[in-house]
Amino acid sequence: YAAKAGATRVSVYRPEDSGATHRRLVLAGDLPRAIEHHRFEVWFQPQAESDTGRVTSAEALLRWDHPEFGFVPPPEIISIAERTGTIRALTDAVISDALHQRATWAAAGHLLDIAVNITPADLRDADLPAAVARMLAETGTPPAALTLEITESGVMTDPERCLAVLDALAALGVRLSVDDFGTGYSSLAYLERLPVNEVKIDRSFVQRLELSEHDATVIRATVALAHDLGLHVVAEGIETRVGWERVATLGCEQIQGYHLARPMPGSKTLEWLAADTGERAHERAAAAHL
């Protein structure tokens, strides 16, 4: 495309295009300052053991309430951050927030692990492991209490280049998880070579299983493969009790999803954890028990 920025705007004739262009320009302009001034939030979604219902960890999820557009979907924020060269600053801010939040919960008697999503762009930065080590030390977090999630397609686009950084992260003792598993072109050979501890089965497979117990092929195969490689399996997007029961039966060790809890701010998470004793946890355990 040869048009200059000004000419492009004049040639726009579809209203939805001009809206999208406006949105892209505004968001790309605002994101660096939003990161710099910390005008975003990190929310958390609890994760539980599938057989006991015990809450063991929480995934950090980015939230940005933009003054003009309101809620901006995290994948859109991430893609803008990648294009504007701010992704590493954003990732560090999310990791730091999440680890501080974990320390706050721990001080209140709730010891949880933390999962944070990272992108291929993060893994192309050789400084990431040192930054992670510094944030772990600053917050007094044991490395194994932090899991970094990288999407399957993310790892597979550039496995050679990511491998050195993944190895350095693994050497720190940080756990690594392959997110959205089953949606990419997973290569068994690579999965074996990557220093990962966990796979997270994509929500789409879980949702199919929730509709029909016969739709278990992908999950069953994934669990078999993962367990063969000594990996832990998490099922994401559990929206129903029957979905929870089915993934537990298929051998997924952990579950996450709206049926357990929706993502919520850190302070709300602490209230939720404090209320999550006795009956609620017991009822979940009974529901999950097979």
Question: Which positions lie near ligand C2E, rule CB under 6 A?
Answer: 45, 60-62, 73-75, 78, 94, 117-119, 149, 179-180, 203, 236-239, 257-258, 263
- 94-133: which residues touch Mg ion (CB under 5 A)? 117
Place of tokens 């910390």: 38
180: enclosing H helix or E strand: strand 175-181
| Rounded Cα distance, 42 and 95, in Å | 9
Q: Does 236 bind Mg ion (CB under 5 A)?
A: yes
Between 44 and 190, whose beta carbon lies closer to ligand C2E? 44
> What's the helix, strand, coil split of the chain in %, to 5?
55, 20, 30
Annotated catalytic residues are 236
Q: What are phi and psi of 69, to 5 degrees?
A: -105, -5
Asked if residues 113 and 147 have their Cβ atoms less than 8 Å apart, the reply is yes
CA-nearest of 262, 254, 272 to 105 is 272
Between 117 and 119, whose beta carbon lies closer to Mg ion? 117
Residue 75 contact, options ligand C2E, Mg ion, none, Cβ 5-8 Å cut-off depending on partner type: ligand C2E
Q: Supply the minimum distance, in Å, between the C-beta of residue 120 and ligand C2E.
A: 10
| Rounded Cα distance, 150 and 164, in Å | 15
Three-state secondary structure call for residue 48? strand
Between 30 and 236, whose beta carbon lies closer to Mg ion? 236
Residues in the chain, total: 290
Residue 142 contact, options ligand C2E, Mg ion, none, Cβ 5-8 Å cut-off depending on partner type: none
Asked if residues 50 and 253 have their Cβ atoms less than 8 Å apart, the reply is yes
Asked if residues 35 and 90 have their Cβ atoms less than 8 Å apart, the reply is yes
Q: Supply the minimum distance, in Å, between the C-beta of residue 200 and Mg ion.
A: 5
Residue 276 contact, options Mg ion, ligand C2E, none, Cβ 5-8 Å cut-off depending on partner type: none
Residue 246 contact, options Mg ion, ligand C2E, none, Cβ 5-8 Å cut-off depending on partner type: none
The most distant pair of C-alpha atoms in the chain lies apart, rounded to whole Å, by 65
Residue 96 contact, options ligand C2E, Mg ion, none, Cβ 5-8 Å cut-off depending on partner type: none
Place of tokens 């602490």: 270
CA-nearest of 236, 204, 230, 282 to 59 is 236
Q: Supply the minimum distance, in Å, between the C-beta of residue 239 and ligand C2E.
A: 4
Between 61 and 247, whose beta carbon lies closer to ligand C2E? 61
Q: Does 149 bind Mg ion (CB under 5 A)?
A: yes
- Kindly write out the interface string for residues 56-85 of this chain, putting x where it contacts Mg ion by CB under 5 A and - elsewhere: ------------------------------
Residue 239 contact, options Mg ion, ligand C2E, none, Cβ 5-8 Å cut-off depending on partner type: ligand C2E
Between 30 and 194, whose beta carbon lies closer to Mg ion? 194
Q: Does 180 bind Mg ion (CB under 5 A)?
A: yes
- Give the DSSP letter of residue 158: S
Binding site for Mg ion (CB under 5 A): 117, 149, 179-180, 200, 236
